[in-house]
Amino acid sequence: MKKAGLLLKRTLPVMAGAAAAALLLAGCGSASVNQVNAAGGTSATPCGTVNVAMNAWVGYTANAAVYSYVAKNKLGCTVVQKDLNEQISWQGFASGEVDVVMENWGHADLAKQYITDQKVAVDDGPTGNEGHIGWYVPPWMAEKYPDILDGKNLNKYASLFATSESGGKGQVLDGDPAFVTNDEALVKNLNLDYKVVFSGSEAALIQSFRTAQQNKTPLLGYFYEPQWFLSEVPLKKVNLPAWTPGCDTDAEKVACDYPTYKLNKVVSKKFQDSGSPAAKLAKNFQWTNADQNSVATDIQGGMTPEAAAKKWVDAHQDAVKTWLS
């Protein structure tokens, strides 16, 4: 779903965490690499092998699953999916180990390093998804304490959010430390009596919110859209000082809310110039938040990423034809 200036990005009890891990293994391959054998193909140009980075949130898995399914079954590509965090994925552009990142959330520092300076990667255009990051509370809290949605009132409620891990302060629960997040800077620069605690994964974050809503326990946490879980529990966003251009340029001084992210794809320059039909597919790939959430919901519900991708592709043949044209 990201680090200072551009914040790091989003990433549950143990059973939920294990389920999510199994999910990602199913979608992204065992260990660090999952090779998918090419089958059939419609392009006159041989596709060859496509190395797809797999970042650890289900929305990303949905994007990559659909791209991989179409590349494999429509273009005859051999798709290799590699489980990597966001930052490591970009290193793969320089080493030649990564061809495609299917959902990028900003990362101006990495774009400068690998696109502008090293020229080993290129912005491959929008995914069509619009990303939002912020601080959220479960619906029951917004109903009982409606003024909590104004960030100016957070210190008033700090004691409600105190946990054994927050050292007497209110807790802001984040996900994976590799996710885009400005939260520690926000706590400091907004003079909030809170401490950021990392749950460790998207799955842990989701389960924490689910439990907080079910048990009516207080929780303030980092979350983001697009995200399938919001159809199950419609979390309510806390309004921090509005984002304005440049307010998050200095990672140490961030005191504003997150921007709206126009999510994009990033590919290696070598891949873009290869003539592979899979490069054209990546360029043309676009869909909506609702599309991503539908595939992610199916994956979360127990379908394999490939099966969920097939279901979506079968129901959206016109969109796929546009990607391939």
The model's pLDDT over 147-170, given as tens digits with 9 standing for 90+, comes to 999 999 999 999 999 999 999 999
State which amino acid sits at residue 235: L
Per-residue model confidence (pLDDT) at position 196: 98
| Distance set, CA 153 to CA 142, 159, 181, 239 (Å) | 13, 12, 21, 10
Question: Cis before residue 13, ω within 30 degrees of 0?
Answer: no
Q: Name the region of 283 (left: φ>0; alpha: ψ -120 to 50; beta: rest).
A: alpha
Q: Which helix (H) or strand (E) holds 133?
A: strand 121-137
Instruction: Enter the DSSP assignment of 296.
Output: H
Instruction: Enter the DSSP assignment of 81.
Output: E
What is the token pair recorded at 139?
């619906």
Q: pTM for this structure?
A: 0.77
Which domains are seen in the chain, by residue range? Answer: 14-129+265-324 (3.40.190.10), 132-260 (3.40.190.100)
**Over the range 118-143, which residues count as b (16 or more CB within 10 Å of their CB) and which as e?**
eebbbebbebbbebbbbbbbbebbbe
Q: In the chain, what is the straight-line distance between the N-terminal and C-terminal CA atoms, in Å?
A: 29
Helices (H), 76-148: 86-95, 108-111, 139-144
| Residue 120, C-beta contacts closer than 8 angstroms, at least 6 positions apart | 93, 94, 114, 268, 269, 270
- C-alpha 54/C-alpha 71 separation (Å) is 15
- C-alpha 96/C-alpha 307 separation (Å) is 29
Per-residue model confidence (pLDDT) at position 44: 61
**Cβ-based neighbour number of residue 307 at 10 Å:** 15
Ranges of the chain with pLDDT below 50: 2-43
- C-alpha 276/C-alpha 165 separation (Å) is 50
- C-alpha 50/C-alpha 99 separation (Å) is 6
DSSP string of 218-272, one letter each residue: ---EEEEES-GGGGTS--EEEBPSPP-TTTTSSGGG--SPPPEEEEEEEEEHHHH
User: Nearest CA to 190 among 114, 256, 134, 235?
Assistant: 256
